[in-house]
Amino acid sequence: MKVVVIDDDREMRQSLMYLLERSGWEVHVFSDARAALARLAGLNPDVVLSDVRMPGMSGLDVLQALEGQVAPPLVLMSAHADISMAVRAMQDGAYSFLEKPFDPHFMLRVLRQAKDAHRLETANRRLRAQLSSLSGIDRVLLGNSPEMTAVRDEVFQVANTDQAVLILGETGTGKELIARALHSMGPRHEQAFVSINCAGIPDDTIERQLFGEANGLGGFFRNANGGTLFLDEVGTISIETQAKLLRVLESGELTPVGSDEIVTADVRIVAASNENLEGRVGAGSFRADFLFRLNTFQIDLPPLRNRSEDVLLLFQHFVVQIAETYEIKPPEMSASDTATLLAHSWPGNVRELRHVAERWVLAARRGAAPVAAALRLSDGEYDVPETLREAVAAFERHLIVQSIRTNDGRMDAVADALGIGRRTLNDKIVKLGIDKSSVLTG
């Protein structure tokens, strides 16, 4: 705790220094207000305690000088106080006003409250600054809808804790970006962020990759020690592995495969799923106690179709961003383009919206083209189905086919490009009836 004391009375300065230092404060005293203001930024105190009536520059002048700045709270004190002066000081932004002689215990309580308020404000300002500078986080948190306002508030509230967080949302809503935001804005931001796609790890190797093994692989937990471990598609983990993960969450201890050694794991867990995990608990494929430990805090990401008022804002933001990347002028949207964007159901959510924006901007380099073309609506390559289920299936099929062609049939690369596990990709290929050989030769 750090305080700057400004008072032209030498005995008062000494008395305050003695009292405050005995109470655990780091104290910097000044007899002149101008000298104190010149040092304020370098000292970065939690609170300023200043007399009102001083030669040259008064405490009220100090208050006026700090107006409009990012500055610590100011507590004024005066032996000549009156009601009008106190009211004026509080209206002008003073945190509190003490009349001399004051009760030392009351003064210390006021200073601690001012310190707490300042640190909370500083922490919130830091979180917002970090959030705005995170690469790609605008894809998830940009929006004026009530749903996104609620998500932003939850991220700010949860980021500075050390508890487990479960992020739920459809594919493309930005679950990993939220996880990275929680890490970057939290107390572990200088340590490792380790992201694993649980669906992409075979059942017979996942324990070795998570917990490591004797005299061998370190494992994800040890790689993330001190930082954050992000378990994407956590619903695909087997019941047996869930039990072992539960032990780590409860005790902070793990045992590498093939070893009797107990290893401490100081890791914050953030998990994500696009499935209804409570439904899986009811079906017996997910442990209730494991879910209880995972969702200490839960963040639900809304699908884009439920916040249609954000579609145009997000699309325009992406268009400007992508145009700057390619150093071209952002194309102008027509009324027809706006109608197309608002009429689409966006089964791929924000990820799909950004891809459409990029295709549209790149197409504009060759001449004006409607947004409908970027949506593949005009040439029948991606017709609009009648039901949402058909729309999701058609869109997934289109993306998978396109990615198989782009990555020359290398399925690990296809899974990485789509942001899903290899097992999930194989299931979707079978379900959607995609013939890999026909795709590559067609």
Spatial separation of the C-alpha atoms in residues 262 and 264, rounded to whole Å? 7
- Given a contact cutoff of 8 angstroms between Cβ atoms, the answer to whether 137 and 185 are in contact is no
- ω into 45 cis (within 30 of 0): no
E-strand ranges in 113-162 read none
Q: What is the pLDDT of residues 33-44, one digit of tens each?
A: 999 998 888 888
Q: What is the mean pLDDT of residues 151-155?
A: 87
Q: Please check the confidence at residue 379 and state whether its pLDDT lies above 50.
A: no
Both tokens of 200, joined, read 């992409």
List, in order, residues 6 or more apart from 397 with CB less than 8 Å away: 432, 434
Q: Are 86 and 60 in contact (CB under 8 A)?
A: no
DSSP code, position 347 = T
Q: What's the mean pLDDT when you consider all of the chain?
A: 84
Parts of the chain belonging to CATH 3.40.50.300:
137-302
Supply φ then ψ for residue 30, to 5 degrees: -140, 140
Instruction: Kindly state the average pLDDT of the residues 297-324.
Output: 88
Q: Which residues on neighbouring strands pair with residue 29, listed in sequence order? A: 5
Tell me whether the omega of the peptide bond preceding residue 187 falls within 30 degrees of 0, making it cis. no
Nearest Cα to Cα of residue 58 among 88, 27, 28? 88
Tokens of 228: 């954050």
Q: Give pLDDT, residue 389.
A: 62
146-159 and 104-133 helices, crossing angle to 10° = 120
Q: Which of 161-165, 339-343, 403-407 has the lowest mean pLDDT?
A: 403-407
What is the three-state SS of 371-438?
Answer: HHHHCCCCCCCCCCCCCHHHHHHHHHHHHHHHHHHHCCCCHHHHHHHHCCCHHHHHHHHHHHCCCHHH
- In the prediction, which pLDDT does 82 show? 66
| Neighbouring residues of 281: CB distance < 8 A, sequence distance ≥ 6 | 287, 288, 291
Q: CATH 1.10.8.60 region(s) of the chain?
A: 305-441
Whether residue 362 has pLDDT greater than 60: yes
Rg (CA), the chain: 29
**Reduced to 3 DSSP states, what percent helix, strand and coil does the chain have, rounded to the nearest 5?**
55, 10, 35
What whole-number distance in Å separates Cα of residue 34 and Cα of residue 237? 63
Residue ranges of the chain assigned to CATH 3.40.50.2300: 2-125
Tokens linked to 29: 């005293």
Query: To which H or E segment does residue 238 belong?
Result: none
Q: Rounded to whole angstroms, what are the CA distances from 180 to 168, 232, 391, 403?
A: 15, 12, 30, 25
Q: Provide the β-strand partners of residue 78.
A: 99
> What pLDDT digit, counting tens, does each position of 69-113 carry?
778 899 998 876 566 777 778 888 888 888 888 888 999 999 999
Contact present, 50 and 95 (Cβ < 8 Å)? no
Q: What is the pLDDT of residues 156-203, one digit of tens each?
A: 889 888 899 999 999 888 888 899 889 988 889 889 999 998 888 888
pLDDT of residue 316: 87
CATH code for residues 137-302: 3.40.50.300
Residue 335 has pLDDT above 60, yes or no: yes
pLDDT at 310 over 60: yes
390 Cβ partners below 8 Å, 6+ apart? none
Fold of 2-125: Rossmann fold (3.40.50)
C-alpha torsion angle, residues 431, 432, 433, 436 (rounded to 10): -110
How far is it, in rounded angstroms, from Cα 184 to Cα 190? Answer: 8
CA dist., res. 74 & res. 196, Å (int):
48
- Closest among 128, 163, 97, 160 to 298, alpha carbons compared: 163
The single residue listed with the structure tokens 């490009």 is 417
* Residue 271: strand pairing partners: 166, 231
Band the pLDDT of 135: cuts 50, 70, 90.
Answer: very low
Long-range contacts of 366-374 (CB under 8 A, 24+ apart): 368/331, 370/334, 370/336, 370/337, 370/340, 371/333, 371/336, 371/337, 371/340, 371/341, 372/336, 372/337, 372/340
Q: How confident is the model at residue 409 (pLDDT cuts 50, 70, 90)?
A: confident
Q: Cβ neighbours of residue 384 under 8 Å, at least 6 residues apart? A: 377, 391
Please state, in angstroms and rounded to a whole number, the distance separating the CA atoms of residues 395 and 402.
Answer: 11
Question: Is the Cα torsion angle 160, 163, 168, 171 positive or negative in sign?
Answer: positive
| From 171-175, 261-265, 388-392, the region with the lowest mean pLDDT | 388-392
Class of domain 305-441: mainly alpha
Nearest alpha carbon to residue 166 among 282, 291, 279, 278: 291
Residues in the chain, overall count: 442
